[in-house]
Chain A
């Protein structure tokens, strides 16, 4: 597509959703990016206005609009506070796809999404190679948090503190699984997600341990692909479609009661974005529609389905104090916030402490962090202050992407706080 009229036409598809915005500006009160910049183009109302102008051809700078549209965490805080109930995330996802179709995907993104992400086997091989080479040029940043930094790569990744790629990714240690249904009588499909698989396989192992403990049968097909959100957030609809087709074909091989992930973003993507974006009348569409109600975050599954309850024991002096950060894609997208807290309380050795503004975005936002690192970090630093003021020794959350961000901001300051997934905390309490 190269004709601006075609772009305007494709934006007409979301015209009704755009019109729902009454420009009241209440999104300014909650947008983490606007809080930093005070720029109307950084908040939902402004982005929606620009899309309206583009679709009316009152504005022709599509690239300029895309830049503003991309400067968004996709945290959904505006949508969950919107008085008019505007479907903001849906608008943004569809508009990013339309704009990318018009402008084209950047060569780097094309390489990453279409050359790598789209092909799970190739991606695993490349990442395995990278994991062997990663010692070169990186150095330890914070021994407690296990983070590293890299002067050599600073041109590309700034002075981020990050966890090294795992030498034993989940797809190597547990390539696939089909364990029998136990005492729970339930079979789940397990979708670990890329970050769990390649960087934090311990989260995947903890999940499998917990499921086994509760007698839940697990179906984990080999060769899982990315859930597709990184590609879609960059407007790469083609790669998204391919990933969706691959995943739905794999998971259709067996019947299951629930589809479980330990990643807030993957959960929200599978539950909401797959049915929203799958092509009409495709096989993927009917599968996505069928699975959406069965898709659950691991904590929600444990509490709502298996009825795991707080231990009720008091660990006293020995207790580890644990606080919790609400990932946007669980709390705001899916309304899941009490269950992860219950799961932390289910470990008798832990004492739960609430942090201020637990539901405020950590500032990661996937590719937002890559493109707007300074902004991302200053939003993250507010999260850090709230974590530290609890005095907790562990901050838990339900999303490996949030963990990456929180680990970075804590590590930058050598704070003595560990970052864990809630499922690891619960798994630690099980024999």
Chain B
């Protein structure tokens, strides 16, 4: 527990309404979207400025109180689950867009700005912020940066890290540190902004982030290709890329997911199809027309039994409606849904899909697979019931095997959800002990009292 006098100091820093200590309030910051056990923090504090963040962290460091930063709490790897003797530092009071500069094409924001709010604001000024993680309607920018969130547009536009220009953060001692610049080029000092990206709250607490913006594409074209074999669909993905075409989105849905979506939304999807590819190309209208025609031809050549090209915005919306419904449709089938994001080089997608099918049979667990085939980041989604010991045990073993399969194919444990506590035990399998040792040495030097989100990524 945290002493009353320290709570008082938090109240002096953030105001009385910026500190929550009641049991019920604390309970509400004990979990996130990962399927893990909750841990109830000792207090929740809500700073309103960077200066307040600095004071809070300094106070925690002096008293060895762990600090876990939280934005919207949509994390899928337990990165925002706090320590029982620690505090949750909530960023959603700091939600201002500080500066949107359309001449130099950047935006400066406070950490708690909601991703979709930012994207809409940017779009209203005729610019484009591409990263679109699935939780963008609620997720915060600082959370996106701390997790290096991806999304559907990763293939062509990259992920959050590709848009981070500079970060201002507070270190474990509560000192303000800046890194990066508003300029396109900047080689001043260590790339600390890069280090902070995907640091999951373990190295510093963000108070301001500058993000790169780009001009939006002028045109786009979407289509749905229907396949009788997953192999043909995945070969198509490889062929499109090999033909030097980079669609902005290239998504795959397997038969299980197709049927779940069809049960749920009656969108008219072909239930007997083994796989669907949902493809969108964007850019200059002439290029879009050319790429669109090429992609369509490739799909047909590689065995698509039907290619439906959206003729207007309504048809385009319909194509993406099916993809957007995937997670919802699967979520309704079983009490617990484990959404994985192990990622492989895209040429290995066919092998990964068949490995997933094998695991589904081996552990007798339904797995719906959909996701970003274009960048090798599939979302095998295991449907299970956490309350059933046997099922849950099988699920845990299945997840472990899934990681092994991805690594055996030269892939990675996590494409976009982060390591957190859910995957920290598997980190060694991918990066080896020396990388963990290096990371731990760095962490120990930066955060000697281990107060910044302890236990995440590299364990304790």
Contacts and interface: CB of A to CB of B under 8 A. Distances in A.
Contact of B31 (A49, A59, A85): A49
Contacts of B387: 19
Given A19-B387, A49-B31, A84-B331, A26 B137 contact: yes
Interface in A188-216: none
B63 interface: no
Interface in A36-65: 38-41, 46, 49-50, 53, 59, 61, 64-65
B370 interface: no
Contacts of B46: 38
Contacts of A28: 72, 138
B135 A25 contact: yes
B328 A85 contact: yes
B23 interface: yes
A296 B389 CA distance: 46
A106 interface: no
B150 interface: no
A61 B24 contact: yes
B175 interface: no
A23 B31 contact: yes
A84 B332 contact: yes
A26 B138 contact: yes
A49 B27 contact: yes
A68 interface: yes
B189 interface: no
B14 interface: no
B308 to A, nearest CB: 25
A25 B34 CA distance: 11
Contacts of B337: 22
Interface string B276-303: 0000000000000000000000000000
A83 B328 CA distance: 4
A68 B138 contact: no
Contacts of B135: 24-26
A212 to B, nearest CB: 41
A173 interface: no
B28 interface: yes
Contact of B138 (A16, A25, A41, A85): A25
A20 interface: yes
A29 interface: yes
Nearest to B139: A25
Contact of B33 (A25, A39, A46, A64): A25
A40 B138 contact: no
B137 A84 contact: no
Contact of B335 (A20, A24, A26, A68): A20
Q: Do most interface residues of chain B lie in helix, strand or loop, or is the interface mixed?
A: loop
Interface centre among A24, A39, A61 (most CB of B within 10 A): A24
A58 to B, nearest CB: 8
Contact of A65 (B24, B33, B138, B331): B24
B42 to A, nearest CB: 15
A193 B31 CA distance: 42
A64 B23 contact: yes
Contacts of A24: 33, 74, 135
A50 B28 CA distance: 7
A8 to B, nearest CB: 15
B274 to A, nearest CB: 25
A67 B22 CA distance: 12
B28 A41 contact: yes
B328 A59 contact: no
B72 A25 contact: yes
Contacts of B28: 39-41, 46, 49-50, 68
A84 B73 CA distance: 17
B31 A38 contact: no
Nearest to A15: B387
Interface in B129-143: 135, 137-138
A282 to B, nearest CB: 31
A59 B23 contact: yes
Contacts of B25: 39, 41
B32 interface: yes
Nearest to A18: B335
A83 B73 contact: no
B29 interface: yes
Given A25-B73, A25-B138, A68 B24 contact: yes
A25 B23 contact: no
Given A24-B74, A83-B327, A38 B24 contact: no
A64 B24 contact: yes
B29 A19 contact: no
B24 A59 contact: yes
Contacts of A40: 28-29, 73
B63 to A, nearest CB: 25
Please indicate which of the listed interface residues A38, A40, A67 has the most CB atoms of chain B within 10 Å of its own CB: A40
B321 to A, nearest CB: 13
Contacts of A53: 27, 38
Contacts of A38: 46, 90, 92-93
A29 B137 contact: yes
Contacts of B23: 59, 61, 64
B337 to A, nearest CB: 6
Contacts of A65: 24
A15 to B, nearest CB: 9
Given A25-B74, A29-B116, A16 B24 contact: no
Given A26-B135, A26-B138, A28-B72, A41 B335 contact: no
A85 B332 contact: yes
Nearest to A28: B138
Given A29-B138, A40-B73, A19 B24 contact: no
Contacts of A50: 24, 27-28
A20 B336 CA distance: 7
Interface string A349-392: 00000000000000000000000000000000000000000000
A64 B394 CA distance: 37
A40 B137 CA distance: 16
A29 B32 CA distance: 16
Interface string A88-127: 0000000000000000000000000000000000000000
B32 A23 contact: yes
Interface string B60-100: 00000000000011100000000000000010110000000
Given A24-B33, A25-B138, A49-B38, 7 more contacts: A19-B335, A23-B33, A25-B73, A25-B135, A29-B138, A38-B93, A49-B27
28 contacts: A19-B387, A20-B332, A22-B33, A22-B331, A23-B31, A24-B33, A24-B74, A25-B72, A25-B73, A25-B135, A26-B138, A29-B116, A29-B137, A29-B138, A38-B90, A38-B93, A39-B25, A40-B28, A40-B73, A41-B24, A46-B28, A50-B24, A59-B24, A59-B27, A67-B24, A68-B28, A83-B328, A84-B332
Closest 6 CB pairs of A and B: A64-B24, A29-B137, A83-B328, A40-B28, A84-B331, A28-B138
